[in-house]
Amino acid sequence: MRQLEVLEGKMGLIEGRFEPNIIVTSTDAIFNWARSRSIWPLTFGLACCAIEMMATNASRFDLDRFGIFPRPTPRQSDCLLISGTVTAKMGERLVTLYEQMSEPRYVISMGSCANSGGPYCDHGYHVIKGVDQILPVDVYIPGCPPRPEALIDGFLKLRDLIMKETIAKPSA
């Protein structure tokens, strides 16, 4: 109440309220900063890579310190983390999930199965040999499964990628 009394009679509410501390920057810089510091991946565990993903999200590796926080729905996610073996049946659903995400959207392919089919490459009759055959992948993380450090590194690579975005020519 006291503040309002002080403001009475002034031209606007904001005027004179703050120190001169406004930062001028470009839209690209502020958007990319915001997007890269709050990558929200879709909770989508497919195989043993999902166990490493859970470990990375949990307190020991703490992905939340990078602003990375799993979301339960594709409508709220910026990043599709494909953690595991993609079968033909799941591939169809994966494309649906990707299409439900709002732009800009990014795809991380985690582990050998998602990258290339891995151990199922020769004889897996129902496995998609490389998820990049159905989705545009931004970051590949090798490993079977990758350690949490590798997953964190993948997210940091994605962060660098987002920092290079420009609204004049969006790539994702």
Point out which residues bind other proteins (CB under 8 A): 88-89, 91-92, 116-117, 121, 125-130, 133-134
Closer CB to other proteins, 134 or 150, in the complex: 134
Closer CB to other proteins, 5 or 122, in the complex: 122
Closer CB to other proteins, 98 or 155, in the complex: 98
Closer CB to other proteins, 134 or 161, in the complex: 134
In angstroms, the CA 166 to CA 104 distance is: 11
Least spacing, CB of residue 129 vs other proteins, in Å: 4
How many other β-carbons are positioned within 10 Å of the β-carbon of residue 166?
13
Burial of 48 (0-12, 13-18, 19+ CB in 10 A): middle
Least spacing, CB of residue 73 vs other proteins, in Å: 24
Least spacing, CB of residue 86 vs other proteins, in Å: 9
In contact, 104 and 163? CB cutoff 8 Å = no
Cα distances from 20 to residues 6, 14, 92, in angstroms, run 19, 12, 54
In angstroms, the CA 24 to CA 166 distance is: 17
Least spacing, CB of residue 89 vs other proteins, in Å: 5
Closer CB to other proteins, 10 or 126, in the complex: 126
Least spacing, CB of residue 126 vs other proteins, in Å: 7
Burial of 20 (0-12, 13-18, 19+ CB in 10 A): exposed
In angstroms, the CA 55 to CA 22 distance is: 40
- Residues 125, 129, 131, CA angle at the centre, nearest 5°? 130
